[in-house]
């Protein structure tokens, strides 16, 4: 029988994502891809996969699924979440699993993930990956384009996600220590491309204001509540192309940061664009998060990008082997103690 | 001499803007630049997105710094000279019957024309494909006769069927997939405009399109052949345009 993950409860907006679908935007095909590629890469590293293999992306509320393979190695990276390993679908309580680690799950066991905390996105990678045919070079789900990923849509109850491996490899489990996924104090932006649609005073106000991530946010864009940004001369432009991270300002003046699933083209002015090094952090902002923006230059953005790449390349050095099961309880206690001491000192 | 400006869209994209209006001459400059950058195979360019009046160039900043890319763009624009653009002319069947054309009556009312007149004015035009965007394979075709140009409906629809033909301002669009839509639906085209298996869009920027009114029966016959995968649609001719 084909090894699968059987979805019992899909969560709020759960899709398969990889690094995205490059090269087809001229045809109207959105980029897509993981909102937080850093966490995607961490999950794949823990699972022993290539850096940007397709994984499950859960937003806000995680899925519940059963493992229908002899056994499988799963890895979780991203937001904090109550991840439980249950003996069966009927079990009420199970073993708690911390995010940022891998775990081996046997046939029939159920993984239940609750609401995500301190972050919007969680990645669930499975060793060997999902046996899904790429569309235009990517297994990312494009819900608007109805293609890629799992049937071009969000996961639903009773979906059977086919796995490439029927068995986990024999090795110890790992966790990642010291990867900081907290958002920056200020998201750095390059002005433009349509900053000339706003007065100097409005632009100053934009950088001086605090914005709150609205509940209407989705994979297309992060809608922000805050002081409205008034346009100097109208808010309709002749449609031009959209870059991921561009902050578009529709007629109402509430900005929208365009994320992975944004349309390829659009007709609202874009006041500034979040730099590529800060985009993964943008993709993990939960609803209600308070954020600020800062201006920067393209040269500074390139330095930030180099720093992000260095962080990504240092990830394997942050892998810590988890001692065999008998010692796990002690390890967790130690972890709690260490973070307790750290908090007390702060 | 072409006027243009290069605007940053963050640190991984530049917008080469030739103007701020819908104009076939600007569109031709955009497409020529896209073609010439493509021909140069410049390392670090990820992809380009042509629009009505600008070309977005996506790049990898650690391979090709913005300053060097701007130099490349300036060089290519200096070299753009008059040439011919060869595009294709398509005749696309459209059924304007009320079962598909849910807003046709309303459009007639808003424009003080009869339904018949709206259909005539819409189908007598040879449209220019300015760009693809919004959905895979979706072409922005213009411009519709000025008396047919309409702003968005007050309330967008949460879903319209694939193939719906809309008036969208001065543009006309066929939506290749089911989608939410705020525009005026005046017919439906049975020819698939997008194939995600082969990543092919039927229409390309600079192509010309004429909509040919067909009956419900003809619509259904074409749609059935499309569903079986046996529909062959070819351009009726080439279209040669000189670009200054």
Q: Where are the alpha helices (DSSP H) in chain A?
A: 37-47, 200-208, 279-282, 298-314, 328-345
A259 and chain B in contact, CB less than 8 A:
no
Among B54, B204, B154, which residue's Cα sits nearest to residue A270? Answer: B54
Helix, strand, or coil here: A106? strand
- Asked if the Cβ–Cβ distance from A243 to B56 is below 8 Å, we say yes
Tens of pLDDT along A101-154? 999 999 999 999 999 999 999 999 999 999 999 999 999 999 999 999 999 999
Please report how many Cα atoms fall inside a 13 Å half-sphere around the Cα of residue A206, on the Cβ side. Answer: 31
- Asked if the Cβ–Cβ distance from B133 to A243 is below 8 Å, we say no
pLDDT tier for residue A343 given thresholds of 50, 70 and 90: very low
Question: How much is the pLDDT for A336?
Answer: 45
Q: Span B64-90, mean pLDDT?
A: 91
pLDDT tier for residue A325 given thresholds of 50, 70 and 90: low
d(CA A231, CA A332): 53
- Asked if the Cβ–Cβ distance from A243 to B136 is below 8 Å, we say no
- Asked if the Cβ–Cβ distance from A28 to B50 is below 8 Å, we say no
Q: Is the model's pTM score more than 0.95? A: no
**Could you say which DSSP state residue A183 is in?**
P
B197 CB neighbours in chain A (<8 A) are 135
A240 and chain B in contact, CB less than 8 A:
yes
pLDDT tier for residue A234 given thresholds of 50, 70 and 90: confident
Average pLDDT of chain B to the nearest whole number: 94
Give Cα separations from B234 to B88, B90, B125, B191, B223 (angstroms). Answer: 9, 7, 19, 11, 16
pLDDT tier for residue B198 given thresholds of 50, 70 and 90: confident
d(CA A109, CA A113): 13
- Asked if the Cβ–Cβ distance from B61 to A302 is below 8 Å, we say yes
Tens of pLDDT along B84-134? 778 899 999 999 999 999 999 999 999 999 999 999 999 999 999 999 999
Question: How much is the pLDDT for B164?
Answer: 98
Q: Specify the DSSP element, H or E, that contains B27.
A: helix B24-40
B62 and B85 in contact (C-beta within 8 Å)?
no
A139 and chain B in contact, CB less than 8 A:
no
Question: How much is the pLDDT for B70?
Answer: 98
pLDDT tier for residue B237 given thresholds of 50, 70 and 90: confident
B36 and B79 in contact (C-beta within 8 Å)?
yes
- Asked if the Cβ–Cβ distance from B136 to A265 is below 8 Å, we say no
pLDDT tier for residue A334 given thresholds of 50, 70 and 90: very low
Residue B157, burial from CB neighbour count under 10 angstroms (0-12, 13-18, 19+): middle
- Asked if the Cβ–Cβ distance from B56 to A27 is below 8 Å, we say no
ipTM beyond cut 0.85 = yes
A303 and chain B in contact, CB less than 8 A:
no
Q: For A224-269, give the DSSP string.
A: EESS----SS-S----EE--TTEEE--TT---EEE-TT--SEE-S-
Question: How much is the pLDDT for A326?
Answer: 52
B175 CB neighbours in chain A (<8 A) are none
Question: How much is the pLDDT for B152?
Answer: 87
CA distance B22 to chain A (A): 7
Interface probe for B, chosen from A37, A241, A298 (most Cβ of B below 10 Å), is A241
- Asked if the Cβ–Cβ distance from A276 to B11 is below 8 Å, we say yes
């Amino acid at each position: 029988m084909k090894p699968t993950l059987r979805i019992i409860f899909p969560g709020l907006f759960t899709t398969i994502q990889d690094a995205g679908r490059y090269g087809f935007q001229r045809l109207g095909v959105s980029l897509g891809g993981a909102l937080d590629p850093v966490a995607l890469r961490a999950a794949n590293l823990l699972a022993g996969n290539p850096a940007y293999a397709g994984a499950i992306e859960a937003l806000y509320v995680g899925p519940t699924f059963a493992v229908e393979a002899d056994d499988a190695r799963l890895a979780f990276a991203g937001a904090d979440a109550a991840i439980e390993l249950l003996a069966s679908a009927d079990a009420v309580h199970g073993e708690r699993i911390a995010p940022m680690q891998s775990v081996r799950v046997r046939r029939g066991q159920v993984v239940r993930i609750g609401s995500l905390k301190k972050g919007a996105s969680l990645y669930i990678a499975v060793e060997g990956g999902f046996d899904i045919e790429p569309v235009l070079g990517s297994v990312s789900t494009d819900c608007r384009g109805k293609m890629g990923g799992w049937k071009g849509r969000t996961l639903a109850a009773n979906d059977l996600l086919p796995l490439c491996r029927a068995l986990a490899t024999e090795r110890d489990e790992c966790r990642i220590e010291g990867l900081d996924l907290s958002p920056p104090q200020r998201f750095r932006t390059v002005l433009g491309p349509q900053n000339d649609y706003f007065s100097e005073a409005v632009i100053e106000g934009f950088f001086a204001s605090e914005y709150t991530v609205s509940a209407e946010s989705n994979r297309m864009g992060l809608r922000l509540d805050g002081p409205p940004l008034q346009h100097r001369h109208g808010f309709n432009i002749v449609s031009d192309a959209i870059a991921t991270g561009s902050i578009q300002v529709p007629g109402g003046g509430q900005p929208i940061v365009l994320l992975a699933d944004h349309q390829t083209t659009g007709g609202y002015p874009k006041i500034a664009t979040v730099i590529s090094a800060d985009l993964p952090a943008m993709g993990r902002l939960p609803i209600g998060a308070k954020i600020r923006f800062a201006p920067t230059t393209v040269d500074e953005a390139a330095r930030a990008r180099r720093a992000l790449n260095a962080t990504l390349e240092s990830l394997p050095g942050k892998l810590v082997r988890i001692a065999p099961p008998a010692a796990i309880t002690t390890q967790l206690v130690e972890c709690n103690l260490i973070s307790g001491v750290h908090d007390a000192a702060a | 001499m072409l006027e243009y400006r290069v605007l940053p869209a963050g640190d991984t994209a530049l917008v080469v803007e030739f103007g701020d209006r819908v104009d076939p001459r600007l569109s031709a400059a955009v497409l020529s630049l896209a073609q010439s950058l493509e021909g140069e195979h410049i390392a670090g360019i990820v992809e380009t997105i042509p629009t009505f009046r600008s070309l977005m160039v996506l790049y990898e900043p650690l391979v090709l710094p913005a300053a060097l890319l701007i130099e490349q763009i300036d060089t290519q624009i200096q070299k753009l000279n008059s040439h011919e653009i060869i595009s294709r002319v398509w005749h696309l069947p459209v059924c304007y019957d009320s079962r598909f054309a849910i807003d046709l009556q309303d459009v007639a009312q808003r424009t003080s024309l009869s339904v018949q007149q709206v259909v005539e004015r819409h189908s007598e035009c040879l449209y220019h494909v300015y760009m693809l965007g919004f959905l895979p394979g979706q072409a922005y075709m213009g411009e519709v006769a000025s008396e047919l140009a309409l702003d968005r409906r007050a309330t967008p629809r949460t879903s319209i069927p694939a193939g719906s033909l809309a008036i969208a301002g001065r543009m006309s669009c066929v939506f290749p997939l089911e989608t939410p839509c705020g525009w005026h639906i005046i017919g439906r085209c049975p020819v698939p405009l997008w194939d995600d298996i082969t990543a092919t869009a039927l229409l390309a920027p600079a192509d010309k399109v004429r909509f040919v009114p067909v009956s419900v029966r003809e619509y259904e016959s074409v749609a059935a052949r499309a569903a079986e995968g046996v529909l062959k649609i070819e351009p009726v001719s080439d279209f040669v345009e000189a670009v200054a």
